[in-house]
């Protein structure tokens, strides 16, 4: 009996691993369409400019389209709240850590801000640091604070690290990373979107994509719920009369878009 139980457990582990592997392959196949979607959005003129920083979640990996990712949902919310067209520039990159954001995405944000200050910047980062077990290091704290210092005052929202209810169990490390975020963000008067508290009580296999790690459309709607109140506050403070930004007049925006890798 014990042997049969062990064999069943082993088979379940193998089956889960195979499903996750297949899921990763399916998500990897979606990368080109997401990349093209963000390129198209960045090329569209808008009265408001929204810049997204972060990792694969900001890229929308697991979503059926850019519009159903949390970044796409925030862009829609910003447009509906202000009655203005929104241009979305997504500088995030799959697999990014806090150090990657500081080294690669912040310089791009600063270059973009030299042409026009964004009306909204969102950041989700830290999940890959948890996976790589670097969330407790001095470098994580120092790099995260340096990223916060680069965000535009009164226009930014950062997310804490979400509760990992899929195939990764790292709750202690997630809490450790979130302690850092909770200590640092208030120093710069930057609100925190509470992904952890939003996702933990709503855990279900139905909020994950085929890799059992990234959110699907339903999961990204929950992510958006965590950001939404802060986006509304910023949107209501947006000054009227912003001038449309034309891609031809601001060619550097196209150059800012990163290549997407898994």
Burial class (CB in 10 A: 0-12, 13-18, 19+), 152: middle
Report which of 73, 19, 67, 64 is spatially closest to residue 40, judged by C-alpha positions: 67
**Residue 252, pLDDT above cutoff 50:** no
What b/e sequence results for 211-227 when a residue is b if at least 16 CB atoms lie within 10 Å of its CB, and e otherwise? bbbbbbbebbebbbbbb
DSSP 185: G
From CA 65, how far away is CA 100, in angstroms rounded? Answer: 25
Give the position of tokens 């950041």.
123
CA 73 to each of CA 55, 64, 171: distance values in angstroms, whole numbers, following the listed order: 17, 12, 27
Q: Which domains are seen in the chain, by residue range?
A: 2-256 (3.40.50.1110)
- How many contiguous H segments (helices) and E segments (strands) does the chain have? 11, 5
Over the stretch 155-193, which tens digit does the pLDDT of each residue have? Answer: 999 999 999 875 667 899 999 999 999 999 999 999 999
Averaged pLDDT, 205-226: 94
The predicted structure's pLDDT at residue 237: 84
Q: Which two tokens stand for residue 33?
A: 């369409």
Is 149 within 8 Å of 131 (Cβ atoms)?
A: no
- pLDDT confidence of 251, banded at 50, 70, 90? very low
Average per-residue pLDDT in the chain?
A: 84
The predicted structure's pLDDT at residue 30: 64
Q: Which two tokens stand for residue 149?
A: 């210092």
Query: Among 9-13, 193-197, 215-219, which is the least confidently predicted range?
Result: 9-13
pLDDT: which is higher, 193 or 249: 193
The predicted structure's pLDDT at residue 212: 85
Instruction: Give the sign of the dihedral formed by CA 92, CA 93, CA 96, CA 100.
Output: negative
Is 58 within 8 Å of 124 (Cβ atoms)?
A: yes
Is 50 within 8 Å of 78 (Cβ atoms)?
A: yes
């Amino acid at each position: 009996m014990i042997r049969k139980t062990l064999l069943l457990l082993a088979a379940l582990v193998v089956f889960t691993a195979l499903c996750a592997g297949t899921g990763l392959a399916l998500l990897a196949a979606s990368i080109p369409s997401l990349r093209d979607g963000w390129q198209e959005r960045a090329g569209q003129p808008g009265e408001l400019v929204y810049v997204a920083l972060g990792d694969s979640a900001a890229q929308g990996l697991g979503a059926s389209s850019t519009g159903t990712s949390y970044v796409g949902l925030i862009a829609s919310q910003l447009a509906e709240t202000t009655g203005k067209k929104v241009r979305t520039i997504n500088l995030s990159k799959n697999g990014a850590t806090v150090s990657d954001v500081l080294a690669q995405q912040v310089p791009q944000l600063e270059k973009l801000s030299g042409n026009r200050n964004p009306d909204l910047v969102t950041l989700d980062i830290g999940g890959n640091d948890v996976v790589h077990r670097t969330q407790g290091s001095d470098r994580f704290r120092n790099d995260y604070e340096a990223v916060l210092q680069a965000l535009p005052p009164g226009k930014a929202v950062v997310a804490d690290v979400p509760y990992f209810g899929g195939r990764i169990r790292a709750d202690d490390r997630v809490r450790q990373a979130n302690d850092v975020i909770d200590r640092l963000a208030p120093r710069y008067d930057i609100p925190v979107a509470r992904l952890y508290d939003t996702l933990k009580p709503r855990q279900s296999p139905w909020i994950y994509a085929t890799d059992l790690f990234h959110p699907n459309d339903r999961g990204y709607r929950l992510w958006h719920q965590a950001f939404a109140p802060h986006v509304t506050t910023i949107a209501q403070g947006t000054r009227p009369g912003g001038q449309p930004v034309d891609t031809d007049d601001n060619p550097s925006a196209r150059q800012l878009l990163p290549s997407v890798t898994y």
